[in-house]
A and B are shown apart, each in its own frame.
Chain A
Amino acid sequence: MNGPQLLEEHVGRLVTSMGAFFPGERTVFRGHNLHTSLKDMDWLEIYTFGITGRRFTPQQMKVLHALWTYTSYPDARLWNNRVAALAGTARSTTPLGLGAALAISEAGIYGGIVELRASEFITRAKILVDGGADLNEIVRIELKLQRSIGGYGRPLVSGDERIPPLMVLVRQQGFDNGPHLKLAFEVEKILLAGRWRMRMNYVGLSSALCADLGMSAREYYFFAIPAFFAGMPPCYLDAAEKPEGMLFPLPCRMLSYEGVPRRRWRVAKPTTQVDE
């Protein structure tokens, strides 16, 4: 079957086991009736069930809830939150601001991209260590190839205030001896002892915890998407409730121009070959 024929098979229909809405009758969510079988789930349970197809214990859910709660920062200086707040000050709508702020959270030095890297690293390291590899060597190679390790180090500051309270809860719920978590702390020891001086950050801890709860790297990446979300509406609200344009106004003098000197536009520039 070639390309167009393959596409033809799917015209106008979706075959799926993820779910469907039967208007006026019922809704099926991953093979279960949403309004009967799954009606007692809280929102985070249905969210994680949607991602993994698995159910988590009340103790596990408590930790998963805390992972989000402890990183809900209503600080409009943070780059992703600032997008939500700028939407407020510019009098855009709340979903536009929050949607954009969520999208921005998939960043290279924090958020989504780091989360996936961290989870992939710790799950891979665990497999390698279980197979007899030396953790020091795994860390050394990772740093050589990637120049950093997802889940270690932090922009702006080195410590992470979220880790101590989360670890209290993790101990209370009995998840402090998980193999990925122990390995994550061993990686931190190696990084602190070497010249890198990098501490484990919140992503390093949460990705290891989620790996101990059976999440794959991609499941954790999905799970973490709304991690910052609760901090965003307050940023929008605060800016929206103040007079318009009051959030971080920028006077002309705050632009530091570092480009070419002033020049005149030529109406018809001579035709030349493109520069490479």
Chain B
Amino acid sequence: MSDERTEYIHTRIWQEDAEQDNAFAALSCHCHGYDVYGDLLVHASWIEYLFLLFRGEAPTSQQAKLLEGLAIALANPGPRDAAVHAAMCGGVGGSTSASCLMAALAVGAGASGGAREVYIAMEDWVTRGNELSLWQSGLAVKPVDDPADVWPVPGHPAGFDPYGVRCTTPVLQTLAHLASLGCGSSLIWLQANRPLLESAAVLPLAMPGVAAAALRDLGCTPEQGEMLFLLLRLPGAAVHALEQKEYGHKNFPFFRIELENDPGPMQEVESRTGENT
């Protein structure tokens, strides 16, 4: 036997007792101190458990309602969203289910409408808080490219719609509902100051901006917010991928391409008789 006893997985989240006759089977699992199958399964909701996993404490009823509202708002951005589009590319080609979700995660990770935008917006909340002047001066500064950063420079201030004309109705509805739950101060402040912030950004507020404020009111760090945003948007990607698989590729756009440097039809075609094609 190798001496694996010197190596451990350290965790503050998860505790297991083994069954007496099987070291690889858990008799009980405790999450942040709570018995998952003997207590949480019976008494907690999925949203409460999700909050517990990320924050380490049971949510208040306001926090649970806020996370549930955010989860509904984010669950399906719809098939026009780039992350869902990516998942549908998997579905329409008959790709594996996991690859569809991996595609949605990869595309939905970005700084334009994705989880990185939420992360950056939450960092802005950390440095600016509820100080309007800090937001106004910060939003006036164009994002700077860091050539040593793997993330491409964002093309717009985080949390705002780069191509928007005015704040959309779903964004306003989401902000109004989440702010009404009275959990924390960020959403309420955002709702009160939205027009001034939009003037400073010269762009309307977008869903990642609302999500960032909500996640801050839930007490999440930017890293936790980024993860939750990725996670909460997966249901829509999943069902649209499944739906497009049913419709098939003949019913899915292939689009038109215009080459700026087309060398034209093949000039020299070698004789390849006998070769497999």
Give residues in A with beta carbon < 8 Å to B. 2-4, 6-7, 12-17, 19-20, 25-26, 28, 30-33, 35-37, 92-93, 95-96, 99-100, 103, 106, 112-113, 116-117, 120-121, 124, 150, 217-218, 221, 249-276
Interface contact B8-A254, CB-CB below 8 Å: yes
Task: Tell me if B23 counts as interface (CB < 8 A to partner A).
Answer: yes
Bound CA span A273–B263, Å: 66
Contacts of A16 on B, CB cut-off 8 Å?
257-260
Q: Give the shortest distance, in Å, between B26 (CB) and chain A (any CB).
A: 6
Interface contact B58-A221, CB-CB below 8 Å: no
Residue of A nearest to B34 (CB): A265
Interface contact B32-A255, CB-CB below 8 Å: no
Task: Tell me if B250 counts as interface (CB < 8 A to partner A).
Answer: no
Bound CA span A275–B150, Å: 34
Asked, given contacts A13-B257, A221-B150, whether A92 binds B11 with beta carbons under 8 Å apart, the answer is: no
Interface contact B164-A99, CB-CB below 8 Å: no
Residue of B nearest to A108 (CB): B150
Contacts of A249 on B, CB cut-off 8 Å?
24
Interface contact B263-A32, CB-CB below 8 Å: yes
Contacts of B99 on A, CB cut-off 8 Å?
95-96, 99
Asked, given contacts A93-B96, A265-B40, A269-B61, whether A259 binds B15 with beta carbons under 8 Å apart, the answer is: yes
Residue of A nearest to B161 (CB): A3
Contacts of A217 on B, CB cut-off 8 Å?
147-148
Contacts of A253 on B, CB cut-off 8 Å?
5, 18, 23
Contacts of B246 on A, CB cut-off 8 Å?
none
Give residues in B with beta carbon < 8 Å to A. 4-5, 7-18, 23-26, 30, 32-35, 39-40, 43-44, 56, 58-63, 96, 98-99, 102, 106, 147-150, 161-165, 183-184, 217-219, 253, 255-263, 265-269
Bound CA span A12–B257, Å: 9
A-B interface, 4 closest residue pairs, ranked by CB to CB distance from nearest: A3-B163, A252-B18, A259-B12, A257-B15
Cross-chain contact of B58 among A17, A32, A265 (Cβ < 8 A): A265
Interface contact A266-B58, CB-CB below 8 Å: yes
Asked, given contacts A3-B163, A274-B217, whether A262 binds B30 with beta carbons under 8 Å apart, the answer is: yes
Contacts of A268 on B, CB cut-off 8 Å?
61
Interface contact B24-A251, CB-CB below 8 Å: yes
Interface contact B266-A257, CB-CB below 8 Å: no
Q: Give the shortest distance, in Å, between A27 (CB) and chain B (any CB).
A: 10
Residue of B nearest to A261 (CB): B33
Residue of A nearest to B218 (CB): A274
Asked, given contacts A32-B263, A33-B266, whether A116 binds B148 with beta carbons under 8 Å apart, the answer is: yes
Interface contact B256-A13, CB-CB below 8 Å: yes
Contacts of A7 on B, CB cut-off 8 Å?
163
A-B contact pairs, 29 of them (CB 8 A): A13-B256, A13-B258, A16-B258, A16-B259, A19-B259, A25-B266, A28-B263, A96-B98, A99-B102, A113-B150, A217-B147, A250-B24, A252-B24, A254-B4, A256-B9, A257-B12, A259-B15, A259-B32, A259-B56, A260-B56, A263-B34, A264-B34, A265-B34, A269-B59, A270-B60, A271-B62, A273-B60, A274-B63, A274-B184
Interface contact B258-A14, CB-CB below 8 Å: yes
Residue of B nearest to A245 (CB): B24
Interface contact A150-B261, CB-CB below 8 Å: no
Bound CA span A35–B267, Å: 10
Contacts of B257 on A, CB cut-off 8 Å?
13-14, 16, 20
